[in-house]
């Protein structure tokens, strides 16, 4: 009888544990899983977890303002520090929203040694504290680097606003 109870208990524990998803450690995550984890952290308003997935010296490419109600920085540099970007934007977004959801659908991924690219079509939903809801969809490309602690995001660029206007996009240089 005791063996039967032990067998049933063990079986139940194994069944329950197989139902819950196992979180991968940073070292076990692939590039696509790292991009998913980054966006999940932002969706959970967990800035520390998101920042931990960004490599030191990482780059944010900003071709135009991400939101039509926020003016573009102008004709200056199109690059900035990715960690500094999220350290500035994260508290503002998280403090002004009840929902900030980012769901990237991985369209393409390529690994070449310790570099990887991940292309996504990212859908977002933002609900501000007044209940106003906004959705968006845009492409993002992530460049990742493999470090001693696993895959980390080294650069991000997106095409937000490209379908609305091209006026804010930087001009090409070096043409004929």
pLDDT in tens, 88-122: 999 999 999 999 999 999 999 999 999 999 999 99
Asked, for residue 165, whether it belongs to a domain, the answer is: no
Q: Decide: helix, strand or coil at residue 165.
A: coil
Asked, for residue 12, whether it belongs to a domain, the answer is: no
How many other C-beta atoms lie within 10 A of the C-beta of residue 75?
A: 9
Total domain count, the chain = 1
Asked, for residue 7, whether it belongs to a domain, the answer is: no
Q: What is the pTM of this model?
A: 0.75
Asked, for residue 176, whether it belongs to a domain, the answer is: no
Domain containing residue 114 = 26-158
Residue 64: predicted pLDDT: 66
pLDDT in tens, 24-54: 676 688 999 999 999 999 999 999 999 999 9
Asked, for residue 105, whether it belongs to a domain, the answer is: yes
Asked, for residue 49, whether it belongs to a domain, the answer is: yes
CATH number at residue 70: 3.10.450.50
Using the predicted structure, report yes or no on whether residue 14 has a pLDDT greater than 90. Answer: no
Asked, for residue 18, whether it belongs to a domain, the answer is: no
Asked, for residue 108, whether it belongs to a domain, the answer is: yes
* DSSP letters spanning 67-105: STTS----SS-SEEEHHHHHHHHHHHHHHHEEEEEEEEE
In degrees and rounded to multiples of 5, residue 108 shows phi and psi of -160, 145
């Amino acid at each position: 009888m005791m063996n039967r109870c032990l067998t049933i208990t063990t079986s139940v524990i194994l069944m329950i544990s197989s139902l819950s998803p196992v979180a991968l450690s940073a070292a076990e995550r692939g590039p696509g899983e790292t991009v998913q984890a980054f966006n999940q952290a932002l969706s959970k308003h967990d800035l520390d977890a998101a920042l931990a997935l960004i490599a030191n010296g990482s780059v944010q490419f900003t071709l135009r303002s991400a939101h039509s109600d926020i003016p573009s920085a102008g004709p200056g540099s199109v690059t900035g520090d990715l960690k500094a970007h999220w350290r500035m934007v994260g508290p503002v977004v998280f403090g002004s929203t009840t929902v900030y959801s980012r769901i990237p659908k991985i369209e393409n991924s390529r690994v070449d040694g310790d570099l990887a690219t991940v292309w996504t079509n990212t859908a977002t939903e933002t609900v501000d504290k007044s209940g106003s809801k906004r959705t968006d969809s845009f492409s993002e490309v992530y460049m990742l680097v493999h470090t001693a602690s696993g895959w980390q995001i080294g650069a991000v660029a997106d095409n937000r606003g490209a379908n609305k206007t091209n006026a804010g996009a930087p001009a090409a240089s070096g043409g004929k």
